[in-house]
Amino acid sequence: MHHFRDEGLRSSSPPHEHVVVFDEAQRAWNHDKTARFMKSRKGIADFAMSEPEFQLAYMDRFADWAVAVCLVGGGQEIHDGEAGIQAWIDAARRRFPNWRVFVSTRLQDSEYGAGAAIAALRERPYVTWQDDLHLAVSMRSFRAEHLSGFVKAVLDLDVDSAKGLYHELRARYPLVVTRDLQRAKNWIRQQARGSERFGLVASSQAERLKPHAIDVRAPIDPVHWFLDERDDTRSSFYLEDAATEFQVQGQELDWVCATWDADLRRVGKQWVHRKFLGSQWKKVHNENQKRYLVNAYRVLLTRARQGMAIFVPPGEANDPTRLPGFYDETFDYLTSLGVEQI
């Protein structure tokens, strides 16, 4: 996308291609990040468009026709400045009223975060809603086509849907939860057969897993982590180095040990979002940062093709940064859905 964008900056002509497919379209930048980049890296001050707006403007230079196909992963925005699919919808609605827009009816689902944009789009002419534009069966987990739906329901706090989807899921996709990290690791090792790969994952904000020998601030080398063999301590097989959502996005393992820290915790009937600063957890107020945090767990919980163990720490009554109450409701929530405890 960046090379395509740069071609549009260098010339006022239309691109060579009448049809362009934007993969991972939800990761396109919003206006603020695009403007900062253009000013610092391209020497263009006061750039007035988001990346989706500019890319569509570039395609709009054709006098006859053009097609832009946006492939969107729901709830995959985890980097600062990633605009989501709503930025493409808003750009088409506000700046290109003569373009025909074809939209999946499923874009209204919560993980896309496009509710307001979808509502505004309904008032626009030349919009076609099509069920077939949604690719409903995940190819990531060949054992469990219901995994993505289950994780979505869990993060939406939709208890009834989560229970129903877990019932569909459990026969082919082993899923367990525990308060004992070593037990989770042992379970993962016992499940894997032959060359099946397994690994440990954690949120990039999970900074109070250090007492469990997990330090998300210590960088891993994804090449070694994903590719090295069982006898290499840098590989995922060792279950020592945890990959975060940034390293595993777009990648898969056969079996995953997923850790769940107090950065995202269930309190009552809602999620509470926290960031560890200095010596304590601070409340996250920014709505985008809240969305990125939930999406981080969406990424982590959908990395395993064949099965997963979730570790929720027991906490420590003598440590104010790891009180049991920070974790207990999350653990109880997962077990209430029927997830087996080990």
Mean pLDDT to the nearest integer, 58-80: 84
Please give the average per-residue pLDDT across 3-15, as a whole number. 91
| pLDDT at 312 exceeding the cut of 90 | yes
pTM: predicted TM-score of the whole model, two decimal places:
0.77
Confidence of residue 78 (pLDDT cuts 50, 70, 90): low
Residue 60: the pLDDT is: 96
Give the C-alpha distances (Å, rounded to integers) separating 257 from 52, 110, 164, 197, 210. 36, 26, 23, 11, 16
pLDDT value, residue 72: 84
Give the DSSP per-residue string, 38-63.
HHHHS--TT----HHHHHHHHHTT-S
68 band by pLDDT with thresholds 50, 70 and 90: very high
Q: Please give the mean pLDDT across all residues of the chain.
A: 90
Task: Check residues 114 and 165 and name the one with the higher pLDDT.
Answer: 165
Least confident of 30-39, 143-152, 243-252, 271-280: 143-152
Residue 80 pLDDT greater than 80, yes or no: no
User: Which of helix, strand or coil describes residue 240?
Assistant: coil
Can you list the pairs that 16-19 forms with residues at least 24 positions away whose Cβ atoms lie under 8 Å? 18/62, 18/65, 18/66, 18/67, 19/66, 19/67, 19/69
Q: Which two tokens stand for residue 335?
A: 């077990």
Q: Tally Cβ neighbours within 10 Å of residue 121.
A: 19
Q: Which amino acid is at 286?
A: N
**Nearest in space to 259 (alpha carbons), one of 278, 282, 243, 271:** 243
pLDDT for residue 74 is more than 80? no
Higher-confidence residue of 5 and 341: namely 341
Q: CA dist 123 to 68, 117, 170, 321, Å?
A: 21, 11, 42, 49
How far is Cα 102 from Cα 278, in angstroms, rounded to an integer?
Answer: 47
Secondary structure of residue 112 in the 3-state scheme:
helix
The answer, yes or no, to whether residue 317 has pLDDT greater than 90, is yes
User: Taking a C-beta distance cutoff of 8 angstroms, is the pair 154, 164 a contact?
Assistant: no
Q: Are 236 and 226 in contact (CB under 8 A)?
A: yes
Per residue in 206-242, pLDDT (tens digit) is: 999 999 999 999 989 999 999 999 999 999 999 999 9
Rounded to 10 degrees, the C-alpha dihedral 199/200/203/208 comes to -170
pLDDT per position as a tens digit, 218-227: 989 999 999 9
Please report, as a single letter, which amino acid is at residue 55. Answer: Q
Domain residue spans in the chain?
2-133, 147-341
Name the percent of the chain lying above pLDDT 70: 93
- The answer on pLDDT for 77 being more than 60 is no
Write down the pLDDT at residue 180.
98
- Say what the pLDDT of residue 143 is: 63
Provide the residue count of the chain: 342
3-state secondary structure at position 185? helix
Please give the average per-residue pLDDT across 169-177, as a whole number.
93
pLDDT digits (tens, 9 = 90+) for 110-157: 666 667 778 888 888 888 888 898 876 666 556 667 888 899 999 999
Query: Is residue 15 pLDDT above 90, yes or no?
Result: yes
Look at residue 30 in the predicted model and tell me its pLDDT: 86
Identify which of 305, 251, 307, 308 has the alpha carbon closest to the alpha carbon of residue 142.
305
The SS3 call for residue 264 is strand
User: How much is the pLDDT for 84?
Assistant: 78
Which band of pLDDT confidence, cut at 50, 70 and 90, is reported for residue 83? confident
CA distance 262 to 102: 40
CB atoms within 10 A of CB 116: 11
Q: For 126, left (φ over 0), alpha (ψ -120 to 50), or beta?
A: left
